[in-house]
């Protein structure tokens, strides 16, 4: 598909009702058409990987075009400069999360940028490394990768006091996904929560992050990969 054909298709699917719903979920609807990700995925499957088209779609600035670009871009062709450009363009949590879960997690250069992006002050740029860690925690199976996540605990400690909504939720998400990898990593993640509680006893952001993480990790049934309904997270002492 050409850029023109793709844009015509997307604009034919415009849905103002869905657009209003997106706004209620905190999605930035500036330049949005109101097309859901579930509607975009079949289009991406039809196009398959098309890196030149992905670049053109991204440069349109249209919300759904950028989501589609995340699905069809070729990870091996993403340069450091291009990664930084796209990440700096992030203006909504859903684009950030779809990019990290469908593109950046398959790109070694992106993984190398984790500490760089975490040091940036822009909210969605700083969200990116923690959303990426969360995605990698799900996709990189096996104990051999556990050290990678532990190595990023200092970075989590560094940003756990950031009060901004989309940053603290991503930091929390990273801790939870790391802890869900195995019983061993759950214990490791809970120890991290203890360390955070001791280091930042008065931080509202840190307090919310660890309490929510502890609540979920102490209620997670690894045998069925689902939450228990009966475990009280208060049994785990985090002040």
pLDDT exceeds 70 at position 216: yes
Res. 39 pLDDT band, cuts 50 70 90: very high
Residue range 14-35, pLDDT digits in tens: 999 999 999 999 999 999 999 9
> How large is the average pLDDT for residues 1-6?
96
The confidence score (pLDDT) of residue 91 equals 97
* pTM attached to this predicted model: 0.90
Average pLDDT, the chain: 92
Q: Per-domain residue ranges for the chain?
A: 1-82, 113-239
pLDDT exceeds 80 at position 186: yes
Give the lowest-confidence range in 116-130, 174-188, 218-232.
218-232
CA-closest candidate to residue 18, choices 39, 44, 41: 39
- Rounded to whole angstroms, the Cα distance separating 199 from 114 reads 23
> How large is the average pLDDT for residues 66-88?
98
Question: 113-239 in CATH: which number?
Answer: 1.25.10.10
Res. 219 pLDDT band, cuts 50 70 90: confident
Res. 227 pLDDT band, cuts 50 70 90: low
pLDDT exceeds 60 at position 198: yes
As a whole-number percent, the residues of the chain with pLDDT over 90 amount to 90
> How large is the average pLDDT for residues 73-81?
98
């Amino acid at each position: 598909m050409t850029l023109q054909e793709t844009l015509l298709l997307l604009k034919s699917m415009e849905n103002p009702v869905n657009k209003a719903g997106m706004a209620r979920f905190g999605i930035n609807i500036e330049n949005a058409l109101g097309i859901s990700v579930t509607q975009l995925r079949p289009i991406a499957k039809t196009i398959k990987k098309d890196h030149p088209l992905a670049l053109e779609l991204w440069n349109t600035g249209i919300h759904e075009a950028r989501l589609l670009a995340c699905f069809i871009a070729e990870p091996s062709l993403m340069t450091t400069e291009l990664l930084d450009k796209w990440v700096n363009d992030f203006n909504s949590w859903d684009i950030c999360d779809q990019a990290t879960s469908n593109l950046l997690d398959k790109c070694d250069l992106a993984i190398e940028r984790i500490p760089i992006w975490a040091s940036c002050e822009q909210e969605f740029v700083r969200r990116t490394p923690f959303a990426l860690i969360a995605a990698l925690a799900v996709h990189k199976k096996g104990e051999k990768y556990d050290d990678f996540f532990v190595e990023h605990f200092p970075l989590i400690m560094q940003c756990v006091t950031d009060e901004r909504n989309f940053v603290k939720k991503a930091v929390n998400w990273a801790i939870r996904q790391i802890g869900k990898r195995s019983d061993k990593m759950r214990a490791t993640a809970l120890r991290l929560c203890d360390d955070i509680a001791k280091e930042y006893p008065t931080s509202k952001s840190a307090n919310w992050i660890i309490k929510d993480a502890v609540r979920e990790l102490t209620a997670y049934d690894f045998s069925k990969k689902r939450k228990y309904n009966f475990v009280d997270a208060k049994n785990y002492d985090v002040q």
